[in-house]
Structure 1
Amino acid sequence: MYSFSNRVRYSEVNSEKELTLPSLLDYLQDCCTFESEDFGVGVDYLAKEQVAWILSSWEIKVYRYPQMGQHIKVSTWPYAFRGFYGYRNFRIEGEDGEIFAEANSVWVFMDTEKMRPARISERMQEVYIPEIRDEIPGEWADRKISLPDEAVQKSVEKEPVRVSRFYIDTNHHMNNGKYILVAEEYLPEQVFVCGLRAEYRKAAMLGDMLYPVVTMEEKQITVTLADEKGASYAIICFQIQKKERQS
């Protein structure tokens, strides 16, 4: 298991001094990135070998959002490798052991020269197989997101969003967390996001236009970010609860 500790910063919280959902995702991404850097298979190594781990899907369960100034520990570990897929869990907890959030993720090992999935290299197996731990117990959804027809029929299209330089990462496409940042804008106020699922279907590049389609259901809101022809870049499903108003 790989872990790092941090303190929730003012720049990472919302108006209620809670860690924002996009910032929470940043911590998860940072944790597995720090692990790969410390193990010698980080950004520069991947670029040199023309390979990459591409995120296929997230599922995140949020029990409580940490508050500004709280000390947290972020941990990650792989629990399986099958074919060109890697499966990885995450956890965020407080100093007292309280678990704030847990996550499951599915990654695809890619040959970036041929732009297709590849067999996981011997070097990656040497690094990560000794790190395998048990999967977090509980029910985890399938990586693919589908919506009932009756909900889709009530979907609402929103104004398109251009992919700016702010959204681009070292893979030269839109960062996984930035899709969540865009999608979160379509949530109503006073909701608690207790869960998130995200399925990534293709990479958006600098200058691409995202066409959001919002599907509202009783306990979840799904935002599909698609191209002009309706092909999805990402599908983000927020599980929501009504937030108690503070007196």
Structure 2
Amino acid sequence: MNRSVAEKEYEVNYYEIDYKERLLITSLVNYFGDIATKHSENVGGGLSYSRKNGVAWVLYKWNIDIKHYPEYGQKIRVRTNACSFRKFYGYRTFEVFDKEDNMIAKANSIWLLIDTNKRKILRITEDMYKIFGLTEKDNKPLLIKNVKLPKKFTIEKSFNVRYSDIDTNKHVNNVKYIDWILETIPLNIILEYNIKHINITYEKEALYGEKIKIFTELKKQDEGYISLHKIIDNNGKELSVIEAIWDANEK
């Protein structure tokens, strides 16, 4: 058994879809978070281990490509592979398959192990190598490009961090940042286009009660748009930078 790989089947529920009856991108990323957590639980490095040892995995970068959004009631398989560790970084891939075994989405991700008491980054521990069945030779990094932001933004919106935004690490769940940027996109683009690619870097955690501000810039491109986003806290510190590529809805 390959301890670094896990797979789970999901059925697309009504509360996970948009008006087109297709899976929301936030629901898909929630599947990724769920299977990653389930994987950790299966191999003995889950929530109880994290509480006992005062550690947690936090997301640093996403690079997600979506070929096709599944529809309401469809069943899909999500596979994840904790493929390598390198110093402070954990690298994990995701693949999504439909019932005909066609790959409909994939993602690369980079994670950091933190001390939950000191809120500091830790070097990957020997325990983690053993838990996921990896060795120090499994050290190939996943390269995710940096988001290049524009000099000016034309859209700006503010939010207060709510209790429902907080996860088990006591900070804003990574999926909420996608929710936030979607609120800055004009409705006609939301209705007529889908996100086919999204690249996210999380630079600083956001906590309950903070006021955050999102800056968004849209650029027309071929048959779609590129949206660029910067999220800052009330002290002006950068929390996240995001790039999304939008294509016309599937027929």
The two structures share one fold, judged by TM-score above 0.5: yes
How far 1:200 moved relative to its partner?
A: 0.3
For 1:100 and 1:13, the matched residues in 2 are separated by: 16
For 1:37-94, what per-residue CA distance to the aligned partner results, in whole angstroms no more than 9, with x for missing partners?
1112111211210111111000000000001111110110022211010111001111
Amino acid at match of 1:12: E
For 2:13 and 2:249, the matched residues in 1 are separated by: 23
Hey, what does 2:50 align to over in structure 1? 46
* Percent of residue pairs identical: 29
Contact residue 203 and residue 233 of structure 1 kept, 8 A: yes
For the pair 1:87 / 2:91, whether they are aligned, the reply is yes
Amino acid at match of 1:200: Y
For the pair 1:33 / 2:50, whether they are aligned, the reply is no
1:183-194 to 2 correspondences below 5 Å: 183-187=181-185, 188-189=189-190, 190-194=192-196
For 1:86-124, what per-residue CA distance to the aligned partner results, in whole angstroms no more than 9, with x for missing partners?
111001111111111100000111122232221212211
For 1:114 and 1:16, the matched residues in 2 are separated by: 44
How far 1:225 moved relative to its partner?
A: 1.4
Amino acid at match of 1:217: K
- In structure 2, the gaps of 5 or more residues are none
Contact residue 94 and residue 100 of structure 1 kept, 8 A: yes
Structure 1's 215 and 62: CA in aligned 2 closer, same or farther, altered over 3 A? same
How far 1:174 moved relative to its partner?
A: 0.4
Give TM-score scaled by structure 1 length.
0.89
Q: Among 235, 242, 245, which residue is 1:239 paired with?
A: 245
Contact residue 59 and residue 140 of structure 1 kept, 8 A: no
Amino acid at match of 1:141: I
Contact residue 22 and residue 72 of structure 2 kept, 8 A: yes
For 1:125 and 1:203, the matched residues in 2 are separated by: 26
Structure 1's 107 and 152: CA in aligned 2 closer, same or farther, altered over 3 A? same
How far 1:140 moved relative to its partner?
A: 5.6
Aligned residue for 1:120, secondary structure, equals coil
Hey, what does 2:147 align to over in structure 1? 145
Equivalent pairs, count: 237
Contact residue 210 and residue 234 of structure 2 kept, 8 A: no
Aligned residue for 1:129, secondary structure, equals coil
Hey, what does 1:182 align to over in structure 2? 180
How far 1:177 moved relative to its partner?
A: 0.5
For the pair 1:55 / 2:59, whether they are aligned, the reply is yes
For 1:221-247, what per-residue CA distance to the aligned partner results, in whole angstroms no more than 9, with x for missing partners?
012111123211112211111336x6x
For 1:114-153, what per-residue CA distance to the aligned partner results, in whole angstroms no more than 9, with x for missing partners?
3222121221110113499998xxx9632x3222xxx322
For 1:224 and 1:76, the matched residues in 2 are separated by: 28
Aligned residue for 2:133, secondary structure, equals helix
Consecutive aligned runs of 4 or more in structure 1 exceeding 6 Å deviation? 131-135
1:63-142 to 2 correspondences below 5 Å: 63-130=67-134, 141-142=144-145
Give TM-score scaled by structure 2 length.
0.88
- In structure 1, the gaps of 5 or more residues are none
Structure 1's 217 and 140: CA in aligned 2 closer, same or farther, altered over 3 A? farther
For 1:195 and 1:220, the matched residues in 2 are separated by: 10
Aligned residue for 1:221, secondary structure, equals strand
Contact residue 88 and residue 124 of structure 2 kept, 8 A: yes
Structure 1's 133 and 70: CA in aligned 2 closer, same or farther, altered over 3 A? farther
Hey, what does 1:3 align to over in structure 2? 7
For 2:138 and 2:125, the matched residues in 1 are separated by: 20
